[in-house]
Structure 1
Amino acid sequence: MVWSNKVMIVLDKILSIIYLNVLWIIGTILGLGVGGVFPATYALYHLLKDGEIFNDFPSFRKLAQAFFCAYKRKFLSINGVGLIYAVVLYMLWIDFQLVKGMTVGAAFFYYPVLFFITYILATIIYTFPVSVYTEGTFKQKAKAVLLLPLLLPFQTVFSLTFFLVLSMIAYRFSIFLPLFFISTYFICIDRFIKRELTKKGIIKGGTDE
């Protein structure tokens, strides 16, 4: 393969990553921020599953149509899941602030509460691949999501650490945030954990519901 073809392939992949990041940002804005994060992330995973994003020179229009089709279809249901997470994290955050203000309680409850906050954040990572890649009822998928941080401890720690690393890069280089941050994170996480989810029998080639 000549060097010019290699360059074009690299540029094509970079363009795909930018497309995905831009679509996620648009989806988040359309949902007025808080109401758009979960639908936009679900739609992003839908494109990853579909594989269209990895085709040679993907059409932005075609990608946008597929993205917003998935976005609208799951907007209410996936935001319902997001609301549950928001309530749980808010309650844990209040507990965390109360514990910090307690002289005696801080010694016993500080790290357990911090652990539960981190654990809930970790389950969010698995919410989207389980929602998109697996079949089953809401209860079955919720059970899988809650168990995965414990079943895949290394992947969980890596996913959280990788997010912090990308956050630091975005803080240092502001252009990274609007063009690469979210898409880079979820593409890498998807590739990293998908094999393990298949080994555990969580992913069986099912379709999203």
Structure 2
Amino acid sequence: MEIRGLWGGFYTISQWVMRFVYINLLWIFFTILGLIFFGLMPATISMFTVIRKWIMKQTDIPIFQTFFITYKKEFLKSNLFMVVILVVGVFLYFNLRYAGFMVDSTIYPILLGGFIITTFLYMMLVIYIAPVYVHFNLSFAQYVKYAIMIGATNLHYSITIIVSICGIYYISMKVPGLVPFFSISVSAYIIMFGANLAFNNLVKKKQQLEQQ
């Protein structure tokens, strides 16, 4: 029984390793297929769709079929979010450069404070937009609103996600060979797992308010 348990554990670990490698390779392939810029967001949404199902204990789903169907279905809509994220990112970049020219100005602390707050909200949008997109059925503006709101009101999950992603980034820089096989998929799993905890926390708060 003990040997069976040991080999059973090894088999389970091997399955999860292969799942992460497979979904990581799919993400890279379909990102390139969309000429990188147009493929990045659809591939990311497809990956998060699969990972969400894993977290919801649906580990027997056909990975490629689920990924490919989602990629085609969400190609245009997900690229709209890509444009929004890019535009806001460019705005923040130029805002930072503009603020840099006003170091000696009396309004510099106000500009710096506004930039820090805006950057924080932007980070919440980037981290949570994919999990919110695959978990909820909302309007375009609500996806953006929910992503920022959930991230900002669940700071303990958000900070844990950011620290974990930084750790993966650091390891990936030290061992570049991990990037094509694990870095993206493991990062997505951590984000989706933390976001799912935040979603469950939101549901609990809603239920508590309804009971009052």
Does the TM-score normalized on the shorter chain lie above 0.5?
Answer: yes
Q: TM-score range by the shorter chain?
A: 0.7 to 0.9
Aligned residues of 1:18 and 1:183 also touching (Cα < 8 A):
yes
The runs of 5 or more residues in structure 2 that have no matched partner are: 207-212
Matched, 1:12 2:52: no
The letter of the residue matching 1:12 is Q
The 3 A distance-change label for structure 1 pair 112 and 165 is: farther
| Number of corresponding residues | 198
The 3 A distance-change label for structure 1 pair 84 and 191 is: same
Partner of 2:118: 116
Q: So what's the TM-score if we normalise by structure 1?
A: 0.85
CA distance in 2, matches of 1:177, 1:53: 26
Aligned residues of 1:25 and 1:178 also touching (Cα < 8 A):
yes
Superposed CA deviations along residues 23-62 of structure 1, whole A, max 9, x for unmatched, are 111121112222222111100111123338733xx7xxx4
The 3 A distance-change label for structure 1 pair 166 and 53 is: farther
Superposed CA deviations along residues 173-204 of structure 1, whole A, max 9, x for unmatched, are 011111101110111222223122122039x9
Higher helix share: 2
Partner of 1:96: 96
CA distance in 1, matches of 2:120, 2:27: 24
Match of 2:165 among 163, 166, 169: 163
Aligned residues of 2:128 and 2:195 also touching (Cα < 8 A):
no
Q: How well do the aligned residues superpose, as a CA RMSD in angstroms? A: 2.2
The 3 A distance-change label for structure 1 pair 179 and 152 is: same
Aligned residues of 2:96 and 2:115 also touching (Cα < 8 A):
yes
Displacement after TM superposition at 1:144 (Å) = 1.1
Aligned residues of 1:93 and 1:117 also touching (Cα < 8 A):
no
**Identity percentage over the alignment?**
21
The runs of 5 or more residues in structure 1 that have no matched partner are: 205-209
Aligned residues of 2:48 and 2:130 also touching (Cα < 8 A):
yes
Partner of 1:54: 59
Structure with larger Rg? 2
